[in-house]
């Protein structure tokens, strides 16, 4: 149960702390075959045997929207109650938006939203006082005191915003590519909505099929497999990652809502495999090449500008914490 806490004066009160905190990008491949998160998705093409497909060339759709979000953990927070029990949290920000590729027009960035949030543990919401310069935070909380749970909640805020934007663009007849999985897009929707997953955190197939995925050549996709009862997926090697890369370099997972049917899902993935490589990044410009799409890289840069200077963000959080400690919050 989440509890809202108001600011009051009193002898028995919580004490708050803050320290810098930075999180970088994780590895693109971090899947453990023995992970409890591993699942075996059923292959629904090629008689259940993972096979490489070479999609025929197709024209690029006229209206494509690339959707992505970014987040920044700006400070690690702590709350110590009157009995000395410490719970942790974080202050962070997220931003989401889209890049539009409309015919031969130049790529355009729009539909940007940005928010700041303060997330505490133990189910207690703490309202950080607003600070001069427009520094405000939405209060939220998670159960327990695991800092990673707070970070996951920050990511959920970002993913929810991405999903809502993707659905809006779908309604506006854009073929929408979401940078990440589709679990935040209502899966009763028909395509065109494509999930573009460039990190692999858990095996999605049986061991024999999983071992075959790195054999895909550039431009090839794997057989379709079904993820739960609402998504079709396929692995695709979008480009050559270079001789220094791991066998999984250049491989992404494409997802399509199962509501369209298997045949339509296969057609959409084949089409995406045909035109997505034109947006693949190159190594001298992007360390995550070729899997990080160029429109997404540009969008990420634009979204990060929405956060403001990280040093100023940390300073604002510190000022808010000082104000909390001076005013008093009950334990």
Q: Which residue has the tokens 């895909």?
A: 216
Number of domains in the chain: 1
Convert the pLDDT of each residue in 61-112 to its tens digit.
999 999 999 999 999 999 988 888 888 999 999 999 999 999 888 999 999 9
| Structural domain containing residue 310 | 3-330
Reading the block at residue 217, the tokens are 């050549």
CA nearest to 196, candidates 312, 279, 134, 80: 279
Q: Give yes or no for a contact between 75 and 324, defined as CB atoms under 8 angstroms apart.
A: no
**Whole-number mean pLDDT of the chain?**
88
Question: What is the per-residue pLDDT across 102-149, written as a single tens digit (0 to 9) for each?
Answer: 988 899 999 999 999 999 999 999 999 999 999 999 999 999 888 899
Distances in Å between the alpha carbon of 186 and those of 112, 151, 182?
Answer: 21, 23, 8
Which pLDDT score is estimated for 27? 57
Confidence of residue 32 (pLDDT cuts 50, 70, 90): low
Work out the pLDDT band at 191, boundaries 50, 70, 90: low
Q: pTM here?
A: 0.88
Q: Which tokens is 244 given?
A: 């220094």
Q: What is the pLDDT of residue 36?
A: 55
Task: Say whether pLDDT at 24 is over 80.
Answer: no
| pLDDT per position as a tens digit, 216-241 | 999 999 999 999 888 999 999 999 98
Query: Per-residue confidence at 31, pLDDT binned at 50, 70, 90?
Result: low
Q: Is the pLDDT at 268 greater than 70, yes or no?
A: yes
At residue 9 the predicted structure's pLDDT band, cuts being 50, 70 and 90, is: very low
- Rounded to whole angstroms, the maximal C-alpha distance in the chain is 73
pLDDT beyond 90 at 33: no
């Amino acid at each position: 149960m989440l509890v809202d806490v108001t600011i009051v004066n009193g002898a028995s009160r919580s004490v708050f702390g803050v320290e810098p905190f930075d999180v970088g990008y994780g590895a693109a491949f971090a899947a453990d075959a023995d992970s409890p998160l591993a699942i075996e998705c059923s292959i629904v093409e090629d008689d259940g045997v993972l096979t490489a497909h070479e999609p025929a060339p197709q024209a690029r759709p006229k209206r494509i929207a690339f959707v992505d979000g970014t987040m920044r953990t700006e400070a690690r927070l702590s709350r110590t109650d009157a009995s000395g029990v410490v719970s942790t949290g974080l202050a962070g920000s997220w931003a989401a938006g889209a890049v539009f590729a409309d015919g031969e027009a130049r790529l355009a960035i729009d539909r940007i939203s940005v928010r700041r949030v303060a997330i505490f543990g133990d189910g207690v919401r703490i309202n950080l006082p607003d600070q001069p310069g427009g520094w405000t935070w939405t209060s939220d909380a998670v159960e327990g005191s695991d800092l990673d749970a707070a970070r996951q909640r920050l990511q959920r805020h970002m993913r929810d915003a991405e999903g809502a934007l993707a659905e809006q663009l779908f309604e506006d007849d854009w073929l929408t590519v979401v940078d990440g999985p589709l679990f935040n897009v209502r899966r009763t929707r028909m395509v065109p909505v494509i999930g573009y997953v460039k990190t692999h955190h858990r095996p999605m197939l049986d061991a024999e099929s999983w071992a075959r995925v790195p054999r895909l050549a550039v431009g090839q996709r794997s057989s379709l497999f079904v993820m739960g009862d609402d998504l079709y997926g396929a692995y695709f090697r979008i480009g050559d990652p270079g001789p220094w890369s791991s066998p999984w370099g250049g491989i992404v997972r494409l997802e399509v809502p199962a509501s369209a049917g298997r045949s339509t899902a296969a057609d959409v993935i084949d089409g995406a495999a045909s035109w997505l490589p034109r947006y693949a990044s190159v190594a001298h410009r992007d360390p995550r090449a070729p899997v990080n799409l160029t429109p997404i890289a540009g969008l990420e840069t634009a979204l990060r500008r929405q956060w403001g200077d990280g040093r100023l963000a940390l300073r604002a959080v510190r000022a808010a914490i000082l104000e909390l400690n001076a005013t008093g919050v009950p334990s």
